[in-house]
């Protein structure tokens, strides 16, 4: 039986709608926004970025009148995949490092903790031979999820996920001490005001990678280098309130990568 999901522009299944029984790489081609959905049959994975990237959420048959509140999502659904029914065997190899490096273990059933079962502290690549799987960032099937169908996954970064297994890149906060609005980023952002309607950034938590933060949109103005760690107040780094000293604010961020262009 084919699955079917219906997306609605507004909460409580109001406004324009779009229904699909297959993968949809860009929902905004059909709806300008999406604030509720109804899964009439089957199982789906929804994503908060186009092309099946970003944070992922599993949806089974049911009604989601306000899915952002119900599921703790901070962004609207931008793409979705239908999860097909699989009746055969399940088999997957997980690796400690990217490109199938480090420890390797083969799994054919559920595992509620790779650390307890395999003494494995991280999983950064995998090879799904049979079946469809959900991977979780925390033990006992908790935290953010990632849907894996048969194929080779040399790096979870290729799927819009950060390094270090499934952890994200950076969380930015509107106020000091991780207060106010929070948004999680896994890619460059040329304007937090345009993307998140966020007027300021005064603290952040860098989970993965190395970042440059800029006082102006589009990577202009003074910069601050951020490596993994918690930054409760930029004043602790010799910066003033409002992002940078002199009343400046952080308005764009980008990852420091080998192929980065300035």
Give me the sign of the Cα torsion angle 219, 225, 226, 232: negative
Terminal alpha carbon distance of the chain: 50
| Residue 59 to residue 177: CA distance in whole angstroms | 33
pLDDT of residue 160 exceeding 70:
no
Q: Which residue did the predictor score with more confidence, 11 or 233?
A: 11
What average pLDDT does range 153-180 have in this prediction?
70
Decide if 204 contacts 248 (C-beta within 8 A). no
Render the burial of 14-32: b for 16+ CB within 10 Å, e for the rest: ebebbebeeebeebeeebe
Q: Given strand 36-41, what is the order of strands in its sheet?
A: 14-20, 4-10, 36-41, 62-64
Give the Cα separation of 31 and 24 in Å (integer).
12
Q: What is the pLDDT of residues 61-104, one digit of tens each?
A: 999 999 887 777 767 899 999 998 888 899 999 998 889 999 99
Distance between CA atoms of residues 168 and 68, nearest Å: 19
CA dist., res. 35 & res. 56, Å (int): 16
**What pLDDT is recorded for position 223?**
84
Q: Give the contacts of 25 (CB within 8 A, at least 6 positions apart).
A: 50, 51, 52, 79
Query: 239 pLDDT exceeds 60?
Result: no
Phi-psi region of 8 (alpha: psi -120 to 50; beta: other; left: phi over 0): beta
pLDDT digit string, tens, across residues 202-217: 888 887 778 888 888 8
For residue 80, the cross-strand partners are 24, 46
Give the model confidence (pLDDT) of 93-150 as tens digits.
Answer: 999 888 999 999 999 999 999 989 998 878 889 999 999 999 988 888 887 788 999 9
1 near 41, Cβ under 8 Å?
yes
pLDDT at 243: 41
All structural domains of the chain, each given as residue ranges with its CATH number in brackets, are 4-83 (2.60.20.10), 91-159 (2.60.20.10), 170-255 (2.60.20.10)
Point out the least confidently predicted range of 8-22, 51-65, 177-191, 227-241.
227-241
36-57 per-position pLDDT tens digit: 999 999 999 999 888 888 788 8
pLDDT beyond 50 at 166: no
The predicted structure's pLDDT at residue 1: 61
Burial of 262 (0-12, 13-18, 19+ CB in 10 A): exposed
Of 13-22, 42-51, 250-259, give the range with the top mean pLDDT: 13-22
Residue at token pair 């040399």? 154
More confident position, 160 or 217: 217
pLDDT at position 247, please?
45
Report pLDDT for 41: 94
Per the CB < 8 A criterion, the answer to whether 105 and 93 are in contact is yes
Written as one string, the DSSP assignment of 169-192 is SEEEEEEGGGEEEEEEESS-BS-H
Structure tokens at 80: 């979705």
In this structure, what are the phi and psi dihedrals at residue 125, rounded to the nearest 5 degrees? -155, 160
């Amino acid at each position: 039986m084919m699955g079917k999901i219906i997306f609605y522009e507004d909460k409580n299944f109001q406004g324009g709608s779009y229904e699909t029984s297959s993968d949809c790489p860009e929902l905004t081609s059909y709806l300008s926004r999406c604030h509720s959905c109804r899964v009439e049959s089957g199982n789906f994975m929804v994503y908060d970025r186009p092309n099946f990237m970003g944070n992922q959420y599993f949806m089974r048959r049911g009604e989601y009148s306000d899915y952002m509140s119900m599921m703790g999502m901070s962004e609207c659904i931008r793409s979705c995949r239908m999860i097909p029914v699989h009746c055969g065997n399940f088999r997957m190899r997980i690796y400690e490092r990217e490109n199938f490096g480090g420890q390797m273990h083969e799994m054919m059933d559920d595992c509620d903790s790779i650390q307890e079962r395999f003494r494995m502290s991280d999983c950064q690549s995998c090879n799904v031979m049979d079946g469809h799987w959900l991977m979780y960032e925390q033990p006992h099937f908790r935290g953010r999820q990632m849907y894996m169908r048969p194929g080779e996954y040399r790096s979870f970064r290729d799927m819009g996920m950060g390094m270090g297994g499934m952890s994200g890149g950076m969380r930015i906060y509107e106020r000091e001490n991780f207060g106010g609005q929070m948004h999680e980023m896994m890619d460059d952002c040329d304007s937090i005001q345009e993307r998140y309607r966020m007027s300021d950034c005064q603290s952040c938590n860098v989970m993965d990678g190395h970042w440059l933060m800029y006082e102006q949109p589009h990577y202009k103005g003074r910069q601050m280098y951020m490596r993994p760690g918690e930054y409760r107040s930029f004043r602790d780094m010799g910066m003033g309130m409002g992002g940078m000293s002199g009343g400046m604010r952080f308005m764009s961020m980008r990852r420091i990568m080998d192929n980065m262009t300035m």
